[in-house]
């Protein structure tokens, strides 16, 4: 298991996740810095991401879309606020409409990534903060489609592992 | 009970097996999952929903009833119509949002791990990668 700890601060709307990888910092950095690598992990298997623009410089950004099972596309963007290869990256992640224009009333999250050497591998700390409580509540109300999709995958796993237990 | 929190941050109280059964049953059908996705904004009536599926109004109404029993949607009467809304319950919206975010990031970290394991040393590839193209 790569995830070492998860801390949620409900007052500050912040998720802090620590993960340890058995790989050098430069390799882990490439997961972020190489768009072909990024698109292999950003979206869930049911909604793979395709990265279009990818410019990890301050003021630069990333544009991407995720393609769902029926071919539907949902677009997103990053705006890079700080970058220090290969150890740190900070960006805002948000939703875009079909033309790639950021959607104003959808939630944005500010994401900070820190990579440090740890036990011969790499420790990654991801801190994600909802930038507005109102937008966050909108997200909850929407029920976040991808969560449903992921949940169904989790259900499959649960059912497979728990098929014979009594209800 | 492993199912402490399950759907869209929707918390199923531990040990309430019947609620979990309802939830699994409700989500085990592709039409019902689609109804959930369409109803997130709470703007569609049962009859509008029914137009989207090759089945009778009564059949769609039955699907909505199953979702309602599982606590996944609420119905709200407006005029002559009943609007269906996907309804994460009020456990605390911040909690739900952060649970969702946690699920998303755990999935991402798992995929990152998988990539690192399968592909420990990818070539440098196209040197223009990493920039706008």
Question: What parts of chain B have a pLDDT lower than 50?
Answer: 1-16, 89-91, 126-133
Q: Could you give the CA distance from residue A16 to residue B62 in angstroms, rounded to a whole number?
A: 42
pTM: 0.60
Read off the DSSP letter of residue A101. Answer: P
| Contact residues on chain A for B40, CB-CB shorter than 8 A | 141-143, 145
| Domains (range + CATH), chain A | 3-161 (3.30.530.20)
Provide the token pair at A134.
Answer: 């109102």
The pLDDT assigned to A10 comes to 75
The residue ranges of chain A whose pLDDT is under 70 are 1, 137-167
Residues belonging to chain B: 133
What pLDDT score was predicted for residue A8? 85
CA nearest to B111 within chain A: A41
Q: Domains in chain B and their CATH numbers?
A: 5-86 (1.10.10.10)
Measured between beta carbons, the chain A residues lying within 8 angstroms of B11 are none
- From the list B8, B115, B121, the residue facing A31 with the nearest CB is B115
Do residues A121 and A127 lie in contact, with contact meaning Cβ atoms separated by under 8 Å? no
- pLDDT confidence of residue B128: 44
Q: How far is B52 from chain A, CA to nearest CA, in Å?
A: 15
Q: What pLDDT shows up at residue A165?
A: 44
Token output for B44: 């569609």
Cα atoms found within 13 Å of the Cα of residue A18, Cβ hemisphere only: 7
């Amino acid at each position: 298991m790569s995830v070492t700890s998860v801390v949620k601060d409900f007052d500050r709307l912040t998720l802090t996740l620590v993960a340890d990888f058995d790989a050098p910092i430069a390799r882990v950095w490439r997961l972020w810095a190489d768009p072909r690598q990024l698109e292999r992990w950003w979206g869930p298997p049911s909604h793979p991401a395709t990265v279009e623009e990818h410019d990890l410089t301050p003021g630069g950004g990333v544009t991407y879309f995720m393609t769902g099972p029926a071919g539907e596309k949902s677009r997103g963007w990053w705006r890079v606020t700080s970058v220090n290869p290969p150890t740190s990256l900070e960006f805002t992640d948000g939703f875009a409409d079909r033309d790639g224009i950021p959607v104003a009333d959808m939630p944005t999250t500010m994401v900070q990534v820190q990579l440090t050497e740890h036990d011969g591998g790499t420790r990654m700390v991801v801190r994600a903060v909802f930038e507005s409580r109102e937008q966050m509540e909108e997200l909850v109300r929407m029920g976040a489609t991808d969560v449903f999709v992921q949940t169904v995958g989790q259900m499959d796993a649960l059912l497979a592992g728990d098929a014979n237990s009594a209800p | 009970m492993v199912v402490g929190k399950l759907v869209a941050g929707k918390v199923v109280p531990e040990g309430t097996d019947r609620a979990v059964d309802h939830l699994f049953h409700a989500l085990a059908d592709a039409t019902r999952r689609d109804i959930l996705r369409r109803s997130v904004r709470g703007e569609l009536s049962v009859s509008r929903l029914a137009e989207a599926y090759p089945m009778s109004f009564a059949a769609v109404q039955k699907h909505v009833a199953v979702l309602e029993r599982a606590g996944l949607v609420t119905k709200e009467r407006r005029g002559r119509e009943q609007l269906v809304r996907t309804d994460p319950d009020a456990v605390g919206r911040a909690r739900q949002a952060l649970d969702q975010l946690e699920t998303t990031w755990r999935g991402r970290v798992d995929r990152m791990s998988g990539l690192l394991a399968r592909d420990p040393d990818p070539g440098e590839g196209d040197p223009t990668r990493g920039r706008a193209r």
